[in-house]
Amino acid sequence: MTNSPAGRSRAAAPARRETFSSRKLFILSAIGSAVGLGNIWRFPYIAYENGGGAFLIPYLVALLCAGIPLLFLDYSIGHRFRGSAPLSYRRLHRAAEPIGWWQVLICFVIAIYYAAIIAWAAMYTWFSVTKAWGDDAEGFFFGDFLQTADTAGVSFDFVSKVFFPMLAVWIVVIVIMVAGVNKGISRANAVFLPLLVVMFVVLVVQSLFLDGAMVGLNAFFTPDWTALQNPSVWAAAFGHIFFSLSVAFGIMVTYSSYLKRKTDLTGSGLVVAFANSGFELLAGIGVFAALGFMSVASGVAVDEVASGGIGLAFVAFPTIVSEAPFGAVLGVLFFGSLVFAGLTSLVSILEVIVAAFQDKLGWSRKGATLVVTIPIAVISLILFPTTTGIQLLDTSDAFVNQFGILACALVAIIVISAGLGSLPRLQKHLNVTSTLKVGTVWRILVGGVVPVVLGYLLINELQSKSSEQYSDYPAWFNGVFGWGMAGALIVGALLLSLIPWSEKSKLKDPEYEAFNAAAHAEGDVDNNLKEVNS
């Protein structure tokens, strides 16, 4: 028994919770988490499709009215209750623990497919040098590279060109995770994030010098003011900000739990939020400058070449790389940026899961990391480097985003605000250490505006996904890996929260007890204390 991770941690003195050694490293890690693949391949197309330059208005409104307030909410929960998502929610209220586990399971689903996209990008960084796709980028991606099956399903025909890069991604990420918060996550972000910014700035500058760049920027920034009268444009802005900032699925709760007691939460949050938006804007400029070149080179309008997501990254961009002067450099910079943006985000997603099991089982960092990440890596390596990997990824991604993250966020906010009435308590906690104080407006935004918007988005998604088969995949496929998976996350969360916290767990942590006492001395009052004790 003593050889088990649990045994080792029991024999040693109680380990103190790791903290980011500086505020700067926390901010870098939080930006690294927020800046992900979506900033590069989602924002430019969403902005273009929803009013171009006019999209700036709903985007900023969404940032200020939903994104930043929700970021502050996550920070306040993680920092006040100093635990992983399940432990923090449990400490907030016993009945809220399933929300934390729901977030952990959402991160599990995202982690298993996110590694596949990073592996594709890594391979395309190399392919850019040789322009391996020739004249047919689409045929190469779906055919030669992924060897996509004709019908969606679960195949175990492995594609070695995807399997081995994915294995490499998992090894790199597991090494980072085992090293812990300071030696692993902080250092990885301190290296990868500056590298990503430098690479992306060079990419944008190179794109701006391409013929037709101004045509692309013109299309991107020309405002369509009539779009502002369309509710779906506003919904797109709120939806995008919500997904872009990595809020409400455990990441920011977990990261902020590693902050020192006296930390400027709101001041740090503002830097993270605006850095994330700045990167998105930069991505929009770079991507549309390149698309402008493609439009001019192929003699078609920008709206015919504009795309987002996988289509932009693995079909449109390789075409640009083939035709642009110094295209190989452009390709290496673009796909290299995707790799670094993806790695920093994947690390943060995995941290939600590792921290949850570390807290629940009271295991050492190394033990918990290996026990959690290796099975995740194995599942990921069984399901995604196959001929049906992209279809599985497509359905999982669409359903976990809408009926995982969005639904969980809505439930969490309703429980925290209307259910437990905890917003005044969390507001007080934010104001104890932060430079920018939050007041009634913050409570109205979080408890009133955000649930209304999230509810609207969720109902829209329920209607669209139930009225037609997603991506024309078979009903059983969407049923199992879409609806079934989303439902299983809720059932799994309830079951995990029924497992009792053992004596070894972090639920009764002397370090937290001292922190809690200090918080109470500063005026914190648990408004649900009677209910919990009864």
Partner 1 sequence: MTPVAITMMIIAVLTIGGGFSLALWNLARHPEEDEQLPEDLPQEL
Query: Whole-number minimum distance, CB 312 to partner 1, in Å?
Result: 20
d(CA 75, CA 251): 10
Structure tokens at 436: 């920018």
Contacting residue, 126, 209, 274, 476, with partner 1 by CB under 8 A: 274
From 175, 178, 173, 162, select the one nearest 382 (Cα to Cα): 162
Q: Among the residues of 362-433, which ranges form H helices?
A: 365-383, 389-400, 407-414, 423-433
Contacting residue, 50, 268, 388, 505, with partner 1 by CB under 8 A: 268
In this structure, what are the phi and psi dihedrals at residue 154, rounded to the nearest 5 degrees?
Answer: -120, 110
Q: Which residues inside 208-247 make contact with partner 1, applying CB under 8 A? A: 214, 217-218, 220-223
d(CA 277, CA 63): 9
Contacting residue, 271, 371, 449, 458, with partner 1 by CB under 8 A: 271
Query: Whole-number minimum distance, CB 55 to partner 1, in Å?
Result: 9
Residue 18 DSSP symbol: P
Binding mask 502-531 for partner 1 (x = CB under 8 A): ---------x--xx-xx--x----------
Burial 188-201 (b: 16+ CB within 10 A, else e): bbeebbeebbebbe
Q: CA separation (Å) from 446 to 189, 254, 388, 410, 427?
A: 29, 20, 40, 10, 11
Binding mask 406-445 for partner 1 (x = CB under 8 A): -----------------------------xx---------
User: Does 182 sit near partner 1 (CB under 8 A)?
Assistant: no
Q: How many residues does the chain have?
A: 534
Among residues 163 and 512, whose Cβ is nearest to partner 1? 512
Q: What is the DSSP string of 443-502?
A: HHIIIIIHHHHHHHHHHHHHHHHHHS-GGG--HHHHIIIIIIHHHHHHHHHHHHHHSPP-
Contacts of 265 (CB under 8 A, 6+ apart): 72, 75, 76, 79, 256, 259, 430, 433, 434
Cα 50 from chain centre: 22
Among residues 267 and 309, whose Cβ is nearest to partner 1? 267
Structure tokens at 31: 């930006």
Query: Whole-number minimum distance, CB 201 to partner 1, in Å?
Result: 13
Among residues 230 and 433, whose Cβ is nearest to partner 1? 433
Query: Whole-number minimum distance, CB 267 to partner 1, in Å?
Result: 5
Among residues 114 and 255, whose Cβ is nearest to partner 1? 255
Among residues 218 and 469, whose Cβ is nearest to partner 1? 218
Amino acid (one-letter) located at 382: I
Token pair 């009677």: residue:
530
Q: Half-sphere exposure of 497 toward its Cβ, with a 13 Å CA cutoff?
A: 26
Among residues 141 and 288, whose Cβ is nearest to partner 1? 288
Contacting residue, 270, 398, 449, 480, with partner 1 by CB under 8 A: 270
User: Does 12 sit near partner 1 (CB under 8 A)?
Assistant: no
Number of residues that bind partner 1 (CB under 8 A): 38
Among residues 264 and 323, whose Cβ is nearest to partner 1? 264
Query: Whole-number minimum distance, CB 280 to partner 1, in Å?
Result: 8
The angle at the Cα of 217, spanning 131 to 230, to the nearest 5 degrees, equals 115
Contacting residue, 4, 14, 22, 440, with partner 1 by CB under 8 A: 22
Among residues 439 and 500, whose Cβ is nearest to partner 1? 439
Contacting residue, 32, 36, 52, 86, with partner 1 by CB under 8 A: 52
Among residues 252 and 400, whose Cβ is nearest to partner 1? 252
Residue ranges binding partner 1 (CB under 8 A): 22-23, 52-54, 56, 60, 214, 217-218, 220-223, 260-264, 267-268, 270-271, 273-275, 277-278, 281, 285, 435-436, 511, 514-515, 517-518, 521
